[in-house]
Chains A and B, each alone.
Chain A
């Protein structure tokens, strides 16, 4: 038992070290040709951001709606003012659900795809081919993906928070338990600029994890088609777990 724990701890630290080295190599990787990098970055931003937009919006709308319904259910006491519902729903969406729901969706959609893509390249020899050409494979393949994550995730978060809050408002108004004015008054009374900053910091960190973890997993894939499948699963699960850990640490540090 102790032996297994020690072996797992050593393996974890080895992975963390190798992950940091890969990120350093990607950051160091010279930009050989700006036009090619711009194209790569634009393609990644389209795949991560634009193509994820519909599902992120749908998930955010349902999350905002469900949060509102549950809050209304729990607040059915005569002494609690109706505006409390807006004061709970909107900050919950901005502080937590907007970023977290987006992260979970992207872990399944983006992390798995990146890991499978890079895993296939590792197994198909394309990563070695770049190395032999004298091109930093980390700089060429990892950097645009991580940059795209860092740039697009905060935008998706803004969309998710807006749609989630709007859906909450719509459901609240439709329920008849609270008016639009009461809901907005409650939301305004608790909303601070710091909440938006916190949400954006969180979104940036999540954007990094959602793209950097699968890059590492895919880069180290082995074992043929099965290995590619395994790395896609590992990347999605790993990204979710590290997002949750980061979520807690950020709450601890910033709130």
Chain B
């Protein structure tokens, strides 16, 4: 379980998070939605320990991320996998080497074992044929898939997705959605997704949190979101209705 309690974060004079409370349960796919600049990515970076809150706590399992030493934080993060908005693949490595990197650095597995694992994950995300290609020669969708394969290669307990469908056409976006849903269901991982894409949210998320003016204005199951009666949330939904 991930628990966020009264998290505050400012950058200079700009208050981005002003008391966020949130609980995310295991085996759930949780979507964080909100307007541009509402602090979704900032919140996600707190959940993975890339940012420390000015006030409040972020607990992942038993660990309070803000109170951990660098070594302890690294140990907790080894249970994380993250799909970055731009993929964040290393340009100087092939897709295969990018996906193999966490296994090479963090496990004692032999080259043969690593190859088997990498090819399994590349097949799972349907880009096994691009294993020898460099990231620069991949399409946007392929980059996301390769990044997803790298994120899940060590079978992390927690999977984070930062705008998984941004920059993708609707068809590729829906393929990525299917992959995320399959991972959530088949591997029973906790998934936390930051997105603008209401189509993705309504089709694959279990629960949704609407971040507005630094706090969680709505947290609930997707069905409840569909029946929204909060004018601000309704306005946000209507503004993104073109995606539905």
Contact = CB atoms under 8 A, between A and B. Distances in A.
B70 interface: yes
A234 to B, nearest CB: 22
A132 B74 contact: no
A134 B88 contact: no
A35 B97 CA distance: 14
Interface residues of A, number: 20
B84 A129 contact: yes
A86 B81 CA distance: 64
B220 interface: no
A131 B50 CA distance: 8
B78 A134 contact: yes
Contacts of A140: 105
A133 B88 contact: no
Contact of A132 (B77, B91, B104): B77
A135 B82 contact: no
B175 interface: no
Contacts of B80: 132-134
A36 B84 contact: no
B106 A25 contact: no
A135 B160 CA distance: 17
Interface residues of B, number: 28
B166 interface: no
B102 A135 contact: yes
A168 to B, nearest CB: 41
A36 B86 contact: no
Nearest to B147: A129
Contact of B105 (A25, A33, A124): A33
Given A126-B89, A129-B82, A134 B77 contact: yes
A32 interface: yes
Contacts of B105: 32-33, 36, 133, 135, 140
Contacts of A134: 74-78, 80, 106
Given A33-B105, A140-B105, A133 B90 contact: no
A128 interface: yes
A246 B235 CA distance: 61
A129 B50 CA distance: 10
Contacts of A126: 88-90
A125 B84 contact: yes
A124 B74 contact: no
A131 B77 contact: yes
A136 interface: yes
Contacts of A125: 84-88
Contacts of A25: 70
A132 B48 contact: yes
Nearest to B100: A36
B88 A128 contact: yes
A36 B104 contact: yes
Nearest 8 pairs between A and B by C-beta? A125-B88, A134-B78, A134-B77, A32-B105, A129-B88, A125-B84, A132-B82, A134-B74
